[in-house]
Amino acid sequence: MELRGARCLVTGASSGIGEATARRLTKAGAEVLALGRNRPALALVGEPIVCDLLDRGQIDAAAAEAGPVDVLVNNAGFGCFGPLHELDPDVLERLVRVNLLAPVLLTRALLPGMLARGRGHVVNVGSIVGLVGGRDEAGYASTKGGLAAFTESLRQELDATPVRVSLVTPGAIATAFFERRGQPYSRRFPRPIEADRVAAAIGATIAKDRAEVYVPRWLALPPRLHSLLPGLYRALAARFG
């Protein structure tokens, strides 16, 4: 899809990947609608749409406020870390609502307009743990795994239409994500990459109608190994974390 002149809604646009994506799309000539909770921060990167994605009513109102949307980037999300039995049930419910249910509901609200206009692209920002899992990340990984399944199913559903659906899967990103989840990133490898690299991949995904993108690209290898040789993958994961 041609980005110049496209009307793009980016969720979680006040910081991190969302902010970087909003700036990238604006630079490419798109009209950006920046959705989140922090109006002053949103106003710096696009036309602000204030919305708490925990609230279904606010999601419906945000979709109505946005009007016609050519590109939806479902980026907003948060993480949590720890053994499942120790996680607060309220936190788990919020994880599901923000990371999985909100993208589904927002897509559902905007999809009819895309189909009617014969033009549209939905980009869902996933996570590598949504494809291969991660120790002490069962809560977060389950929401991103659900998002991956949603993306693939919707892609098949819309295959005969002009609306495209993509999954962008990043690894560790140098944002406040890890501190906010309650556990800083401590691995020596892979090193976290800048949010703008993911933003650039999102822009290219839209412009080139790519179905699936990994950031960095070598990150496509772990899911393939997990699929082909699950026993070996689990043994390596147990040893190296």
pLDDT in tens for each of the 241 residues of the chain? 999 999 999 999 999 999 999 999 999 999 999 999 999 999 999 999 999 999 999 999 999 999 999 999 999 999 998 999 999 999 999 999 999 999 999 999 999 999 999 999 999 999 999 999 999 999 999 999 999 999 999 999 999 999 999 999 998 887 666 566 666 666 666 777 899 999 999 999 999 999 999 999 999 999 999 999 999 889 888 877 6
Residue 175's pLDDT is 60
Check if 140 is active-site. yes
Q: How many CB atoms lie within 10 A of CB 77?
A: 25
Nearest CA to 165 out of 143, 184, 185, 150 is that of: 150
* Residue 162 to residue 117: CA distance in whole angstroms: 9
Is there a contact between 185 and 192 (Cβ–Cβ < 8 Å)? yes
Say which of 140, 185, 214, 233 is annotated catalytic. Answer: 140
Q: What is the CATH number of domain 7-240?
A: 3.40.50.720
Q: Tell me the domain boundaries of the chain.
A: 7-240
